[in-house]
């Protein structure tokens, strides 16, 4: 048991260091300020998990990890490759942890002059929701993080997003129609605006819920996870 948990602890410490490092930076994918402490606040203080969320794991899990991310964010990519994969591989199958992904698409707004139609953060977020229509959200989510290549440089332009869907074996006609329609534009925008009152300003950021309360420290990460 102890040996199995060591890699996860290491990954979470790395993730914590990445988040802390991002907070100290300015611009790019870094949050301008850390989230105000909500440690011990009832979980109802944040937007409740709903059918609109992308969720992995047991709905009755002891621990819920809610993570706000931008698919262009390099820190999010590192978090995905380290801590998130460990949680998904070791804890979610046991039913002890639930993982919730929420969009916080903001990096595309740094492009001047700004053109919402070419906002790669928004486009990628909408594309992932289009993939969800074919029950492929998590496959597409992973593919995006694993194929990051800079911020606002065209990697997540619509043409590439459509090619990614084809590579994953999705119905290209249905996916392309969905993406071109901008049907999820409001959902992506709402996800970001709903997070702002909680102090989310950059990515990766989020909350850990346990026993009906929020635990928002790195120490909380280490102590809230159930034993393997």
Q: Which domain holds residue 209?
A: 2-224
For residue 100, give the nearest of 136, 137, 78, 68 by alpha carbon.
Answer: 68
Provide the domain count of the chain: 1
Domain containing 140 — which CATH number?
Answer: 3.40.30.10
Cβ atoms 99, 84 nearer than 8 A: yes
- pLDDT (tens digit, 9 = 90+) per residue, 80-99? 988 888 889 999 999 999 99
Per DSSP, the residues of 172-194 read HHHHHHHHHHTTTHHHHHHHHHH
Question: Residue 52: in which H helix or E strand, if any?
Answer: none
Relative orientation angle of helices 158-167 and 172-181, to the nearest 10 degrees: 150
pTM exceeding 0.85 = no
Task: Please tell me the predicted confidence (pLDDT) of residue 108.
Answer: 93
Over range 169-174, report the average pLDDT.
98
Q: Are the C-beta atoms of 143 and 164 separated by less than 8 Å?
A: yes
Helical residues (DSSP H) of 25-112, grouped into ranges: 74-79, 85-86
pLDDT digit string, tens, across residues 31-58 = 434 455 555 454 455 678 888 999 999 9
């Amino acid at each position: 048991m102890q040996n199995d948990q060591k890699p996860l602890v290491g990954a979470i410490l790395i993730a914590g260091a990445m988040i802390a490092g991002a907070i100290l930076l300015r611009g790019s994918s870094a949050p301008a300020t850390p989230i105000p402490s909500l440690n011990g606040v009832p979980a109802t203080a944040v937007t409740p998990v709903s059918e609109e969320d992308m969720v992995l794991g047991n709905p009755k899990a002891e621990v819920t990890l809610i993570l706000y991310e931008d698919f262009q964010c390099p820190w999010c990519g590192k978090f995905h490759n380290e801590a998130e994969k460990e949680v998904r591989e070791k804890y979610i199958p046991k039913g002890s942890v639930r993982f919730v992904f929420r969009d916080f698409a903001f990096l595309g707004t740094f492009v001047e002059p700004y053109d919402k139609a070419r906002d790669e953060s928004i486009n990628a977020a909408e594309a992932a929701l289009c993939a969800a229509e074919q029950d492929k959200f998590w496959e597409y989510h992973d593919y995006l993080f694993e194929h990051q290549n800079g911020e606002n440089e065209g990697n997540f332009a619509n043409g590439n997003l459509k090619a990614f869907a084809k590579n994953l074996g999705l119905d290209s006609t249905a996916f392309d129609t969905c993406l071109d329609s901008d049907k999820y534009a409001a959902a992506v925008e709402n996800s970001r605006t709903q997070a702002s009152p909680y102090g989310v300003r950059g990515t990766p950021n989020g909350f850990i819920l346990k026993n009906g309360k929020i635990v928002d420290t790195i120490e909380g990460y280490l102590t809230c996870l159930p034993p393997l």
